Amino acid sequence: MNKVYKKLVRDNIPEIIRKNGEKPVTRTLDEKEYLEELVKKLKEEVAEFDADRSVEELADVKEVMIAIREAHGIHAGELEDVRRTKANKNGRFKKRLYLEGVE
């Protein structure tokens, strides 16, 4: 192999590689590996968003979050309900509060 990546990629990446005249070497992850790689991918995408705070990078973060939710069998509505409940109890981040400490 000329290039080694060893990372989770989007479903269409192997076809894109083939269209570029190269041969992708892939395998299908088992459930445990998939969940571990999704967490790594989330960290990767968050780092990319930190470096380039574009809507494209933020969309990548959201795509991985959706995959994690689906892999855990959590319905989108359930996640939103939990988010709302926590927002109602603890608030959101609209006031831009930064806790320096507690005396």
Task: Write a three-state SS string for 7-51.
Answer: CCCCCCHHHHHHHCCCCCCCCCCCHHHHHHHHHHHHHHHHHHHHH
Q: In this model, does residue 1 exceed pLDDT 90?
A: no
Residue 22 main-chain phi, psi, to 5 deg = -110, 165
**Which pLDDT tens digit goes with each residue over 30-68?**
999 999 999 999 999 999 999 999 999 999 999 999 999
pLDDT level of residue 79 (50, 70, 90 thresholds): very high
Query: Side chain identity at 8, as an amino acid letter?
Result: L
Contacts of 42 (CB under 8 A, 6+ apart): 61, 64, 65, 68
* The predicted structure's pLDDT at residue 86: 97
* The predicted structure's pLDDT at residue 46: 98
* The predicted structure's pLDDT at residue 18: 97
What is the average pLDDT score of the chain? 96
* The predicted structure's pLDDT at residue 100: 94
Q: What is the DSSP letter of 101?
A: -
